[in-house]
Structure 1
Amino acid sequence: MNKVLKIVLTWLPSFVIVLIYIANGLDKILNPNQTGKVIANSTIMTVTGIFLLISVLLFLYHKTLVIGTTFLALYMTFIVFVHMYKGKPYEVTVLIVIATIFAAYLRKPVLFHK
């Protein structure tokens, strides 16, 4: 029972993060003509959505966790800067960046130690 609980608690933050990124990626693919964005090109929005979904898959697979985490964290860091530039609240996006790195740490803590 303890082993199952440990696995569930280790993967729970990853699933929450994955839901955020999947919803964001699907929104960019299914609704590429969003207004009020820095880049209003529908092709770029669709490519960004595909990039997010591929990054999520890399994040979920154990061997490519570092690559997926890097892509997701860099994407959301860029979004933080966009929110700061536009004067929008950016605290939630900063928390998503931190949570992404924390979820990767929980799943593979060896990467963060010397």
Structure 2
Amino acid sequence: MKTAELLKKLLVKLPSVVMAVIFIQNGLTKVFNSGQLDKVIKNQTVLILVGVLLLIATCLFLFQKTLLIGTVFLSLYMCFIVCVHLYKGKPIEVTALIIVATIFAAYLRKPELFYQDKLNTQNH
């Protein structure tokens, strides 16, 4: 019985860990290798700032209490990246998949954020 509970907890948190690794790697690359990146924004300071904000959003995503805020920031960031890819004519499938996976990982950890309680809405 304990093994099943442990496995369930692990499988619920695993997508969040995978997404966090992707965003942390992206943020650290922007912070430490901003001069070597060929991006739309050429200003190193802006890239470093975006990297720091990405790392902060990932931390917010990892904590249960700030999961919603982190998910919103990360999803909006990736939506911006989709727009940039559309502008440059690059494929957007992987970027869109990252958005869906981020929202799905948040849903697995805290599903009550994504639906309203019918009893509470009927009483008000």
TM score, norm. by length of structure 2: 0.89
* Superposition deviation, residue 18 in structure 1: 0.5
Is the counterpart of residue 24 in structure 1 residue 11 in structure 2?
Answer: no
* Superposition deviation, residue 2 in structure 1: 1.1
Measured against aligned partners, the alpha-carbon deviations of 1:29-49 in whole angstroms (never above 9, x if no partner) come to 011114431111000000000
Q: Distance in 1 between matches of 2:34 and 2:60?
A: 23
Q: Distance in 1 between matches of 2:37 and 2:82?
A: 18
SS in 1 for 2:65: helix
Partner of 2:86: 84
Partner of 2:73: 71
Q: Max radius of gyration: which structure?
A: 2
* Superposition deviation, residue 97 in structure 1: 0.3
CA RMSD of aligned residues (A): 0.8
* Superposition deviation, residue 51 in structure 1: 0.3
- 1:105–1:112 contact (8 Å) kept in structure 2: yes
Is the counterpart of residue 9 in structure 1 residue 11 in structure 2?
Answer: yes
TM score, norm. by length of structure 1: 0.97
Measured against aligned partners, the alpha-carbon deviations of 1:62-81 in whole angstroms (never above 9, x if no partner) come to 00000000000000110011
- Structure 1 residue ranges, 4+ long, deviating more than 3 angstroms after superposition: none
Within a 5 Å distance, the mapping from 1:48-67 to structure 2 comes to 48-67=50-69
User: Identity across aligned pairs (percent)?
Assistant: 58
Partner of 2:121: none
For structure 1, which runs of at least 5 residues remain unmatched after alignment?
A: none
The counterpart of 1:43, out of the listed 42, 45, 53, is 45
Counting matched residue pairs gives 114
